[in-house]
Every structure is written in C-alpha cells, then in structure tokens.
Structure 1
Amino acid sequence: MITRVRALTLPWTSVVPVLAVVLLVFTWGRDLPGVVVGVVTVVLAGAVLAAVHHAEVVAHRVGEPFGSLVLAVAVTVIEVALIVTLMVDGGAKGATLARDTVFAAVMITCNGIVGLCLLVGSLRHGTAVFNPEGTGAALATVATLATLSLVLPTFTTSKPGPEFSSVQLTFAALSSLILYGLFVATQTVRHRDYFLPLTKHGEVITADSHAEAPSARTALISLGLLGLALIGVVGLAKAVSPTIESVVESAGLKHAVVGVIIALLVLLPETIAALRAARRDRVQTSLNLALGSAMASIGLTIPAVALATIWLSGPLILGLGPTHMLLLVLTVVVASLTVVPGRATPLQGGVHLVIFAAYLELAINP
C-alpha cells in the first residue's frame, strides 16, 4: 500500500507549473488583495525553481548547446507575447515598453548574469574557463543587434524623435531574424564544439558523466512542464506588477524601476540555471544562457513589435538616451576584453557586476 501511494504522488516540480497556470487564469487582469499577492509570490518562486529543474532535465537529454537554447528561446517567446499584449493595452506608456524591456534584458544578462557566473565560477574553481570563439561570436551578434535596433533610431532623421520609419523598422526586423537564425545554425550545426564546456586544459566536455541521461518520454514531459512553468512565471510577474508599481511610487522611485523588477523576475529561471552551471565548472553553459537570452530578446522582440505596429496606432520609440548608450558601449568594450583570453578571474566578474549596479542606480536616480 505504501509503495502504491508513493507511486501515485507527483513531485512538486510537476504540480507547481500546473498550479501557477491555474492561479494565473483566476488572477489575470484583476486587482489583487494583499493576501492573494502573497500567495502569487510564493507560487511564482516555486514556478521559477520548477522551470530551472525541467530546463536541466531537457538540457541533460539533448546536450549542450541545445539545452541552453531551449530555455533562452522559451523564456523569450513568452516574454515577447507579454510585451505585445502590454503594448496593445498600455496606450501611450507602451511606446517605450519594447525598448526598455530589451535594454533591461541586455543589461541583466550581459552584466548581471555574466558577472555573477564569472565570479562564482572563478571563486569556486580558481579561474572560469570558456571558449572565446563561441562566446566572442555570441557577443558580436548581441552587440550588432543592440546597435541596429536600439542605437540607430536615435540618429536617424526620416522620422522626428528616436523612431524608425516603416522601411527602417522592416530592415531592423529582418536583420534581427537573419542574424539570430545564422547564430543558431552556427551554435547547433556547423560549429557546435565552440559552445561546449571546456576543462581547465581546454578539452571539450561533450557530456556530463555523473548521471544517466533521462529517457525521451521524461524529457518531453519536462519540456511541456517547462513551458507551463515559464507561462506561470511571466504571467504571475505581470499579475503582481500593479503591486510593484504602487510600492515603487510610494517609495518615490522612477517608473522605469518597475520594468527592471519585472525583467529580473522573468529572467530568474535563466539566472539560477546559469549559476548552477557555473558552480559545476560549466561556465561556457552559463555564457550560452546569458548571451543567448540577450540575443533572443532582441532578435525575437524587434520583429514581433514591428509586426504589431501594423495594428498599433501609437509611436514605437526604440532609440536609447545618451546615458543608456554609454552603458551599452561600456558593456560591449568590457565584455570583449573579458572574452578574448578565454578565462576569467573574480576581477572580470566584479567589473561586470559594477556596470550592472550602475545601471540599477541610474534606473533609480537617472
């Protein structure tokens, strides 16, 4: 009898994603009392941990770099759907939503996640080792996408203000899709070995030998539960956003802080997964997650919002201001110097974290 009861008991990682989606259905678009916000926050935290678990199961089955790609694309697709929904309902506030969300994702991934992983990996294992060829290719793609989509609109003259004309926006959207597609092909087909973890001696680690890979059935179940968990994470983050807005306003902070907090919540699954990989001395996997998320955020968001402008009547402001452009330039320069040697010390991790702290400080005190 005890054995039968145990067999019928579902693990919490299977229950929480379903619970998160059910809770999302009952809370979407409603004003939530304090008690419900507390429940939503607890379920949100559980959905984040469940998403990380199922992402690791899928990653173990398909191997790197496919595992990192699955998590990055899954989070970004759901995030893009949320952005377009908010733009439709947000009125004038939706004009800068895509720009602010994408730039927040770039800062969080390229400085916050990269800095934390380099710091954790180097402190735990002496130095953080990764492949400069694959990481450099990812960084170059992110820098190009960010410049074409977020910097050029500030300097174009076809339309007043930091906006693209219709032709320019179409070019940026197509360029984003083409570059992202080329990178995925490079990462998964032609030069997959550039994105695999390395040993201290520079040897490629093709698989984890500490555990047997899960079955195809288990991986498919985890893939489905991963999707549910990520829908729950993004949706519940939106559900608690009014409470976050009221707290931010009562604290006298700028409205941009709300976007940063929501972006941090949405990117939590990738952050935790990247940190776990860094602790296992798989820093290349951490960088695949971080830079892949930044690239997917730009490469999928810009085409989606470009398509959405067909039925959206308001402006679409993509161009960054001078302060944020300086932070982007600093991020690209420092990340390039970090990538070139193929190994990093705690210093490099600390430098990236300081840039991320500067971004947060300027979000609070622009």
Structure 2
Amino acid sequence: MIKRLTSLAGQWTLLVPVLAVILLIFTWGRGLPGAVVGLVTLVLAGSVLAAVHHAEVIAHRVGEPFGSLVLAIAVTIIEVALIVTLMVDGGDKSATLARDTVFAAVMITCNGIVGLCLLVASLRHGTAVFNPEGTGAALATVATLATLSLVLPTFTTSKPGPEFSSVQLMFAAVSSLVLYGLFVTTQTVRHRDYFLPITRQGDVIAADHAAAPSARTAWTSLGLLGLALVGVVGLAKGVSPTIESGVKAAGLNQAVVGVIIALLVLLPETIAALRSARRDRVQTSLNLALGSAMASIGLTIPAVALASVWLPGPLVLGLGSTDMLLLALTVVVSSLTVVPGRATPLQGGVHLVLFAAYLELAINP
C-alpha cells in the first residue's frame, strides 16, 4: 500500500508539469472565463508543488549548499520573466512593478520565510541553530544589493524622480552581478562549510543517510522542474489580468500586484525552507530564504535593466520613505538575529510582525 501511494505521488509530480504546459498552450493570449481561471489557478498551484518536489530531488543529488541554489535561481528566472512580460503589456502603469516585486521578495524572504522557519524550528527543537558566519555574509550581501538598487535611486539627481540614469542603472546592474557571483563562489567553493547545517555543538551535520537519486532521476527532475517553472510563469501571466482587475476593483494600491507575484514565485522556496526547519536544518532554510532575496535582486535588476532598453515605459526603482524605513528596520533586526547563531520563538515572532506590518502598509499605505 505504501509503495502504491509513493508511486501515485511520483506520477502526480510527473503529470502536473506536463499538464501545465498543455494548458498554457491552449490558453496563451486568450481571455479566460471564470471557470477556466479557476482551473488554471489549480494547475498553477500544482505546478508550484511539483517544482518543490523536483527541486528537492536535484538538491539531494548535488548536496548542500549547491541544492539551495537550484530553487533560488529557478524561481528568480520565473520572477524576471513575469516582471518583463507584465511590463511590456502594462506601459507606464507598470513602471514600479520591478521595484514592488523585488522589494516584496526581500520582505517575504527576510521576514516572512525567516520568521516562519525560526518559529517552527525553535518551537519544535527548543532553539533554532545556524552558522552566523555564513548567514551574516548572506545578510550583508542582501542589504548591500537592496541599498544600491532600491534606495539610492530615491536620492540621485541625474534624472528627475526615483529613477537611475542609464549610466547609474548600468553600474547597479554590474555591481549586482559581481556581488552575486562573489557570494555564490564563497558559498560553494571557498567557504562551503559556513553554509552547511550544524548541530547545537557547532559541528557540521553529516549528509542524510538516504541514498541519493541516480543521475538519470536527477536529470529527469531537472527537465520536469523546467516544465513546471514554464507552466508557472505562463499560467500566472494568464491569470494576471484577473488579479490586476481585482486589485483595481478593490481599490488597493498597485504595489499589491508586486506582492502577489512575489508570494506566488516564492511559494516553492517557502515550502522547502519550512520542511528543512522541521528537520532541524535551519541553515538550509536560511540559505534558501536569503539566497532567494539575493538572487531576486542580483539577477532581476540586471535583467530588468537590460530589458529597459526596449521597454516602452520608465523604470522606477527608488523606494518611498515608508518602505525604506521598513527595509532599514529589517536589516537591523536581522543582524541582531544572526549574531548569536541561535534563535528562540521571540526572534521568529519579531520577523513575522515586521512582515505583517509590510503587508498592512502595502494594502493601506
């Protein structure tokens, strides 16, 4: 019976990505009635869960910390594709979409995912234990990237409004790529041990005893992960007009669209991070969360900067005063969380309250 259920689960994760792509082919570029929007939403959610499964298979094959990079880069590709697609269709009204989505990703990862993982791990195991060297390096990189890309445009004077000039945008894009590349090199080559899960005595946790999947299985999962991600971004584009019209009808701030995109894109990493936290692999959870924030800025900003060459509308990246205050408070609180190398439910709760404040102010600025 158990083997049969396992087989059915495996078939489910094989079929859903294929179904998502087939549905995408039949719905691409067409107006969708309500019933079809409901079906697309269900398949979209299934594709997200299938992406989590296949990313975990690949992560198990390659090991930590390489596995944490797989999902971070994959969902960032979704984010970039979705932002650029919506900006092409939206014109001037989507000028702040990239900023809103990237900032939402930072707040979701640094406060939402981190807070949930710290709370779950500390309630389940007493305290959440992680490596402050690796986590601190990741946090410093996220803070620098966020400041260079989202804060500085508000104060520059070469171009009116919270926008970069062409030269400044190029500098921000190149700097983002350089910092992201340096971090990946540090995480995977020079100081790999800083990003491995540790015990409460500070020893690196040995790899799981379960046999790693075969190379063939890993390659199959990689292909299915790609299909799932294509399905997610394509189907999300299909339901985005419904989302935008719903946001407008409810009288909500346009930034809510960016929040919804980021929540959707980061759902696979949220699930994977929570699973690691339940297994007392908090370092893996933090790798996923902060790595996602870093990839969201370090890869999205250069891609959007390149796309701005042919995008019809302006590219507004500078945050407002309220968002800058939330970002500064997030950096300070995260630093205090990281320094001890362990956390209690209090730290998790503080991050979650910050995340709730961000959502409240995004809906009611």
Distance 1:175 1:250, change over 3 A: same
Name the residue aligned to 1:160. 160
Q: Aligned pair count? A: 361
Distance 1:109 1:7, change over 3 A: closer
Secondary structure of the structure 1 residue equivalent to 2:200: coil
Name the residue aligned to 1:290. 289
Q: Which amino acid aligns with 1:49?
A: L
1:45 aligned onto 2:36:
no
Residues 277-311 of structure 1, C-alpha deviation per residue, up to 9 Å, x if partnerless? 10011111010000000000100111111111222
C-alpha separation in 2, matches of 1:353 and 1:85 = 31
Name the residue aligned to 2:184. 184
Q: Do the aligned partners of 2:112 and 2:351 also contact (CA within 8 Å) in 1?
A: yes
Q: CA deviation at 1:8?
A: 11
Name the residue aligned to 1:364. 363
Percent identical among aligned pairs is 86
Q: Do the aligned partners of 2:97 and 2:255 also contact (CA within 8 Å) in 1?
A: no
The 5 Å alignment of 1:347-362 reads: 347-362=346-361
List gaps (5 residues or longer) in structure 2: none
1:149 aligned onto 2:149:
yes
Q: Do the aligned partners of 1:237 and 1:266 also contact (CA within 8 Å) in 2?
A: no
Q: Do the aligned partners of 1:196 and 1:206 also contact (CA within 8 Å) in 2?
A: no
The 5 Å alignment of 1:59-208 reads: 59-208=59-208
Question: After TM superposition, what 4+ stretches of structure 1 lie above 3 angstroms from structure 2?
Answer: 6-10
Q: Which amino acid aligns with 1:20?
A: A
Normalising by the residue count of structure 1, what TM-score does the alignment of the two structures yield? 0.95
Q: CA deviation at 1:250?
A: 3.1
Distance 1:290 1:10, change over 3 A: closer
Distance 1:7 1:59, change over 3 A: closer
Residues 62-83 of structure 1, C-alpha deviation per residue, up to 9 Å, x if partnerless? 0011111011001102221221
Secondary structure of the structure 2 residue equivalent to 1:11: helix
Secondary structure of the structure 1 residue equivalent to 2:350: helix
The 5 Å alignment of 1:328-339 reads: 328-339=327-338
Q: Which amino acid aligns with 2:75?
A: V
List gaps (5 residues or longer) in structure 1: none
Q: CA deviation at 1:264?
A: 0.6
1:212 aligned onto 2:211:
yes
Name the residue aligned to 1:309. 308
Name the residue aligned to 2:29. 29
Residues 229-262 of structure 1, C-alpha deviation per residue, up to 9 Å, x if partnerless? 1222222222222222233333332222222122
C-alpha separation in 2, matches of 1:170 and 1:259 = 23
Q: CA deviation at 1:313?
A: 4.0
Q: Which amino acid aligns with 2:337?
A: T
Q: CA deviation at 1:189?
A: 0.3
Secondary structure of the structure 2 residue equivalent to 1:240: helix
C-alpha separation in 1, matches of 2:38 and 2:8 = 30
